[in-house]
Amino acid sequence: MTDERGDTAVRELPKSPWDRYGWLMAVIWLFFLIYPAIALVESDAAPIWVGVGWGALVLFVVLYVGGFIRGLRLGGGLGRPVPPGQWWIFGGLIACALIFIPGGGVNALAFLPFIMSFASYGLTRPAHWIATIGGIVLTAACVSLLPGGIAFMSILAVVALLGVVNTVSTWLIIRSAQADQLGLELATSAGREAVARDVHDLIGHSLTVVQLKAQLAGRLIDTDPERARAELADITALTSEAIAGVRATVAGARATTLVEQLASGRDALQSAGVALRVDGEPTALSSVQSLTASWVLREAITNVLRHAQAKTVTVSIAPGVLAVNDDGRGPGDGDGSGVRGMRERAAAAGAALEFGPGAGAGTRVEIRW
């Protein structure tokens, strides 16, 4: 995501490879529907029922692949709200399996693994359990009660194994999502505490100085009006600086995601005539890493605006790494409060922060996990 212009825009995030090509997994597994197709070819049922069976098989494929793609795009299932319409697709899959029976007989059991997987990954946890238990019981009943049912023992084994795999894998996916959400909430809470500390320190220091200067101006207003006016001018400057600092801190608190902070930083740099170049995608960092990286990026851009006198800023994003380079006059001697704050936030997030001269000129800030 790179824009050579000074008004670099943060584009809409691209879809992940899974969102783009995950539907291929559904298509690959459809190979196993060759068995119902063979059953229709060899069926002794009336031609009308064989035709209905073919129609049910084709409709099943369309509903399954379409529902799979739709679920990926809308992000439902696995602990998240089910997108509207997915339940109707699930019912359509079951209906297709039932309609297939007159033409294909017990081979309709081959639809069960697909129905179970759709319920597990695209619907709710209760739907997973109902579909899994129901599929195993139904297949076992056919194997044990129907004449020649022993021939479908392999399907029973597949259905039972798939039930176990779906149960374990979906549980792990849900737990991983919950862990990421908890980590994000903890990082957000730590960020809010840092904001409160920054605002407290900023306001406390400024108000203390303003109070002292106001008292001094009050004593000098009669004896030394010129100096009193100078103290009042200092008070005005201090209050303006404090207000600007509070606004910058609050703006950074609101822009808690890396995408939002890139947009906010773009606007700030553009207003100062500084070009922004972004190499890489924000999705290269996890949600927790993104939160910490946004704080570091905000402080780095603030330092550029205050001290660097730069013309270009380059933000590089890669898995586990965010780096900010400018072509300004380079870092000063020692770490200021902003750099110390970045180091503290990086350490709290389990990352290391490097601050120093850039490869050619200017300053480089890098946070690495």
How confident is the model over 282-341, as pLDDT tens digits? 888 887 788 888 888 888 888 888 777 888 999 999 988 999 999 888 887 666 767 787
| pLDDT category of residue 237 using cuts at 50, 70 and 90 | confident
**Reduced to 3 states, what is the DSSP secondary structure of residue 285?**
coil
**Reduced to 3 states, what is the DSSP secondary structure of residue 6?**
coil
Residue 366: what pLDDT? 92
The CA-CA-CA angle for residues 137, 163, 145, to 5°, reads: 20
**In angstroms, rounded to a whole number, what is the distance separating the alpha carbons of residues 361 and 343?**
22
How confident is the model over 10-69, as pLDDT tens digits? 333 344 444 455 556 666 777 778 888 888 888 888 889 989 989 999 999 889 888 877
Q: Is the pTM of this model over 0.75?
A: no
Domain segments of the chain as ranges: 17-180, 255-369
Please, where are the H alpha helices in the chain? 17-21, 23-29, 34-41, 47-74, 86-104, 112-122, 125-145, 153-220, 225-254, 258-271, 287-303, 337-348
How confident is the model over 73-122, as pLDDT tens digits? 776 666 678 888 889 989 999 999 898 888 888 888 888 888 888 888 87
**In angstroms, rounded to a whole number, what is the distance separating the alpha carbons of residues 315 and 294?**
11
Query: Which residues make Cβ contacts (< 8 Å) with residue 242, sequence separation at least 6?
Result: 202, 203, 206, 207
Give the residues across from 366 on adjacent strands: 323, 354
Residue 200: what pLDDT? 57
CATH of 255-369 among 3.30.70.1050, 3.40.50.10860, 3.30.1330.10, 3.30.565.10: 3.30.565.10
Residue 321: what pLDDT? 92
